[in-house]
Structures are given as structure tokens and as C-alpha cells.
Amino acid sequence: MIQVKNYYLSFGKKKILNDINYQFQAGITAIVGPSGSGKSSFVLSLNRLTDLYSNTRYSGEILFEDNNILIQKKNLGKIRHAIGTVFQKPTPFPVSIYKNLELSLIELGTVEKKNYLEKIKEVLKKVSLWEDVQDNLHKSALKLSGGQQQKLCIARTLLLNPKILILDEPCSSLDPISTLQIEELLIQIAKLTPVIIVTHNLKQAKRIAEHLIVFGIHEGVGSIIEKGRSEEVFLAPKHHFTKTYLEYEAF
Amino acid sequence: MNIKKNLIVLISFPILILFFMMISNIILEGHAGLSWNYFVTEASHAGRSGGIAPIIVSTTIIVILTLLISTPFSFCSALILTLVISKNRYLLSLFEISLTLLSGLPSVVFGLFGSAFFGKTLGFGYSLISGALTLSCMVLPFYTKILHDNFKILPREYFLSGKALDLSLYQFAKNILIPLNLYAIAAGAIFSISRALGETAALIFTSGYVDRYPHSLLDSGRTLSIHIYDLALNIPGGDQAALKASFVFLLLSLTINFILSVVLKNTLLRGLQ
Ligand SMILES: Nc1ncnc2c1ncn2[C@@H]1O[C@H](COP(=O)(O)OP(=O)(O)O)[C@@H](O)[C@H]1O
Ligand SMILES: [Mg+2]
């Protein structure tokens, strides 16, 4: 599992995250908090996708399988496969549905080409997309609806056999039905693979998460305000800010 | 409101008239004496009589070579700007300013550079390849700028997803960047073709102006624009022939644009299905 110790992050001169400490656990962990509190920056840090931003600077430790990934120079690709990420905006690639999934298998490099179709069918069934797309595998993925696109993005990440799955507000642009389907899916996945989900939707966090992290902003810098088992935080928040946030957002 | 509208009409009117005068002059005088023979024979008397077959061959070769050279180079430059150089804001603006300045440089400067570098240093002499390389240098800055400007506005999630799946640069370019930027690539390609078709100053010192058939890419050849330029400026009594060649130029450029728009429409529509 991932353990974060004294993690600080800044983009150039702008401080983003302040002294983050957290030990992730099995099951679903939800991260909530106001916009701009650094939730996305935090989850993207867990596999160093923040390196893509300009002038990223960080200190502290992020331990994954006993390695501090912050000082790792090689094999970041392997880490990004092991810690899979799905983003807020569904980004199916502008090629066919089949090709979208095939790309993952090509990069993974451990599946024989003749087994591709079987693998792709299996994962599409898992994300309950097979029924919808089985006749259109070679049509452009851009033709899919928002919910289907996001399921495809999850499928493409699952094909890489991640040991941890991160989702950054995966349902924020989806309708309620797709949202519920994705929640179902995450509960299934979380039985085997720890899931970390950033969400704006407190009800969603309540429905699916075992663990909760509440982010806040202090003088423009994000930090963890409160953390713990989800039902405990929802029932009896310790921090004043959490209380108001939970009450306010519950509307 | 009305005044503004009238002003616009007033300004555009002379431009329209000028345009029609030029076109009608070329069409009326240029098509006289045009026959099939003109397209399949070589020039004689320095172009005053005879045809333009070798010139069409050289023009086509130079245009296609320029397209084939400038497209991958511009694509790679834009890719490097987007993926690597953009991490440093100051370096990026330095490069962006250079691109803008370079794309405004007079073409004769590229001609002199091309003749010195491709002609002498690399030893290509006066040749189609020298000319195409020089034209590629000339269109590269603007072509790169078009592509880079389009890469810049892509949602960041595409780049993040590419990294998250650890896609190789080749797979990322092939499956994401190219399909998403077909329109920009088409715009750049059309820009390249039209610059190559219309260019004279950059070619006189590089591909030369020999009006016979080129024997290889290392042989010199004359493009249609140079032919027109030469007839109009250097050859006494070449005016009529220049108009005739201009008429063919119009036809050629219309044909190329037509073919391109059909091809692009089909591939683009297919790509977006
Ligand atoms: N590429 C970037 N460069 C500089 N600052 C950024 C960049 N992306 C986000 N930020 C800043 O980082 C802070 C945290 O943003 P983010 O992690 O997206 O928060 P959240 O996901 O909680 O809304 C914000 O103040 C935002 O302005
Ligand atoms: Mg966010």
C-alpha cells in the first residue's frame, strides 16, 4: 500500500500541498474537500504524474512497496501501471474502442496478440460495457456517451492489472445512472484492489467509502484537515471546518 | 451601423475589382493558343514557344518533396516544444518568438542560406533536393507554430492519460496527437504546398532554372513560378508566354486544392466516425 510522509508540493513558487501524512488502506478511500484544495495534485503525486506540470517541486516520502517513489529515477512507467489513474474528464483516445484497449495490452507487453480479443471482452464485461459495444468494437470511441467513455477509460486502466486504482472525480460529468453503475463497479474492484477516489459528492463518499480524507485550504495551500473511517468522520467530525463543510455540502 | 457597413463595402470593392481584373486578364489572354501539346512538350526559345512539360514535372517533385520533408520535421518540432520545452516558460517564449520571427523572414534569405548550406556545404549543388530542403526550412517555422498552437490547447488529460498508460511516444503520436490534429496538419500541409508552388526567390539559388527534364533529385529543375518570373522579367517578348504559364498555374493550384479538399474531407470524416 501507499504511505505518504511529510509530503510538500509546489508548482514553481506557488505552494500547493503542506505536510501531508497518510497511510492508505484496503477498500475504498474517498478524498473530499473544496475546489483548489489540492486533491487532484495529491492523487497525481502518488504515481508522479505531477512531473508533467511545469516546475514541479516536492519533498517528503511517498512509499509504495518499500520504495520512495519520489526519488525513483527509472521505471516510472511501471509505477504508473501499478498505480492506475482515471481522470475527471473522460479521455478516450480518438481511435476505435478496440484500439483504445489494445493500446494498454501493447504497453503491458505480457499478453499474446492472439489473446487480445478475449482479454478485451473480459474487461468490457467487467465494466458492464460489453453489451453496449460488442457490435461496434471498431467504431470510434468518441461516439460513446459520457458514461460509456468513462467506463472505457476505467477498462483501459484495469487492463494494466493495477495494484491500486486512483479516480479523480470520475463521475462529475456523468448522469446519475452512469454514476451508480460506476459506483457498483468500484465496490466490485475494491474487493481485490484498493481504490482511491476524489469526489465532490459527499453522498457518493458516504455510499461507497470506508475511509475518508478531508482536504482544506489554509492561506492558499492545501492540507489534510481530517482523516479516519468514513462513518466516524461523517457522524462526529472532530474539526470545526469539517463540520461546516459536511453540513454545507450536504445540501 | 449603416456607415460602418458602407465603409466595409467601400474598402472591399476595390479589392474585388482588382482581383477580377487580374484573374480575367490571365484567363482571357492566357488561354489563347493553349493546347494539349503545351502540356507535353519541352520549352523552346527560352520559353517563348514550346511547352512546359519538364516544368510541371519539376514543380510537382519539389512540391511533394517539400511536403514530405516539412511535415514530419514540423510535427516533431511541435512535439518537442509541447512535451519538453514547455516545462520551462522562458525557454518556451524564446522559441515561440523565434518561430514568429523566422516565419516572417524574406524568402530570399532562406534562398541564400539554402544555397550555401545545402548547395555548397552538403554538396547538393543546384538541385531539386536543395530546393525542396530550402523550402522546407522556409515553411518549417510557421508549420511548427500551427501545430504547436493546436497541441497547446488540447486538454491536459490526454497527456496525463498517455503518461498514466506509459504509452510510447510513437503510440501517443499515432493514436492521439495525429487523429486529434488532422485539421491542423491539413492546414500546415496546404500552407506548405502553396508556399512551395508560389516561391521564386528561395529557389533561384537552390533548384535553379534549367527548363529541361530533371534526370534525378540531384539535378536542377525549374518550377512554374520561376518560369513565369523568368518570362516576365528576363525574356524579351516573353509576356504572352508568361500569361499562358500563369493560366496553367491557376489551373494547377485549383486542381491541387480540389484534390486536397476531397482527400481531406474523406479522411477527416472517416477519422471522426
Ligand atoms: N498546472 C498548474 N500550475 C500551477 N498551479 C496549478 C496547476 N494546476 C493546479 N494548480 C493550482 O493548484 C491548486 C490545487 O489544484 P487542484 O489540485 O486541481 O485542486 P482540486 O483538485 O482540489 O480542485 C490550485 O490552487 C490550482 O490553482
Ligand atoms: Mg480536481
Say which amino acid occupies A163. Answer: K
Question: pLDDT tens across B213-268, in order?
Answer: 999 999 999 999 999 999 999 999 889 999 999 999 999 888 888 888 888 777 76
Q: Which of A93, A102, A152, A166 to mutate to test the interface with B (most CBs of B within 10 A)?
A: A93
Weakest-pLDDT range from A52-56, B68-72, B91-95, B262-266: B262-266
Determine whether the shortest distance from the Cβ of A53 to ligand 1 is under 6 A: yes
**pLDDT, averaged across chain B:** 91
Residue given cell 526559345 in the structure block: B45
Contact assignment for A91 to B171 by CB distance below 8 Å: no
Q: Please, what's the b/e burial string for A14-46 (b: 16 or more CB within 10 A of its CB; e: otherwise)? A: ebbbbebebebeebbbbbbbbeebbbbbbbbbb
CB B193 within 8 A of CB B255: no
Instruction: Report pLDDT for A133.
Output: 94
Asked if A156 has any chain B CB less than 8 Å from its own CB, the reply is yes
Tell me which ligand sits closest to the C-alpha of residue A172.
2
CA distance A147 to A155: 12
Asked if B179 has any chain A CB less than 8 Å from its own CB, the reply is yes
Weakest-pLDDT range from A58-62, A134-138, A144-148, B87-91: B87-91
CA distance B130 to B206: 5
Q: Is the pLDDT of residue A70 over 80?
A: yes
Residues of A in contact with B167 (CB under 8 A): 103, 107
Q: CA-CA distances (angstroms) from residue A242 to A31, A212, B29?
A: 13, 11, 83
CATH fold group of domain B31-272: MetI-like fold (1.10.3720)
Domain boundaries of chain B, sorted by first residue? 31-272
Asked if B93 has any chain A CB less than 8 Å from its own CB, the reply is no
Cβ contacts of A144 within 8 Å, gap of 6 or more: A92, A97, A132, A133, A152
Q: Is the pLDDT of residue B90 over 70?
A: yes
Weakest-pLDDT range from A145-154, B1-10, B35-44: B1-10
Residues of B in contact with A142 (CB under 8 A): 272
CA distance B99 to B112: 19
Asked if B236 has any chain A CB less than 8 Å from its own CB, the reply is no
CB A246 within 8 A of CB A212: no
Strands (E), chain B: 43-44, 49-50
Question: pLDDT tens across A11-51, in order?
Answer: 989 999 999 999 999 999 999 999 999 999 999 999 999 99
Determine whether the shortest distance from the Cβ of A35 to ligand 1 is under 6 A: yes
Q: Which atom of ligand 1 is nearest to the CA of A168?
A: 21
CA distance A78 to A176: 34
Helix (H, G, I), strand (E, B) or coil at B214: coil
Instruction: Report pLDDT for B261.
Output: 83
Question: pLDDT tens across B151-163, in order?
Answer: 999 999 999 999 9
Q: What DSSP state is assigned to residue A200?
A: S
Least Cα distance to A198 among A1, A14, A36 occurs for: A36
Instruction: Report pLDDT for A251.
Output: 59
Instruction: Report pLDDT for A76.
Output: 92
Contact assignment for B175 to A140 by CB distance below 8 Å: no
Mean pLDDT, residues B167-190 taken together: 92
CA distance B218 to A78: 48
Q: Which atom of ligand 1 is nearest to the CA of A39?
A: 22
Determine whether the shortest distance from the Cβ of A14 to ligand 1 is under 6 A: yes
Residue A77 is nearest to which of B88, B155, B166, comparing CB atoms? Answer: B166
Instruction: Report pLDDT for B230.
Output: 94
Instruction: Report pLDDT for B117.
Output: 97
Q: What DSSP state is assigned to residue A140?
A: B
Asked if A52 has any chain B CB less than 8 Å from its own CB, the reply is yes
- The rounded Å distance from CA A33 to ligand 2 centre is 10
pLDDT-derived band at B273 (thresholds 50, 70, 90) equals very low
pLDDT-derived band at A213 (thresholds 50, 70, 90) equals very high
Instruction: For residue A224, list its beta bridge partners.
Output: A215
Q: What angle in degrees, to the nearest 10, is found between the helix axes of B53-83 and B224-233?
A: 120
Mean pLDDT, residues B2-18 taken together: 86
CA distance A162 to A249: 32
Residue B164 is nearest to which of A84, A95, A99, comparing CB atoms? Answer: A84
ipTM for the assembly: 0.92
**pLDDT, averaged across chain A:** 93
- The rounded Å distance from CA A15 to ligand 1 centre is 10
CA distance A56 to chain B (A): 9
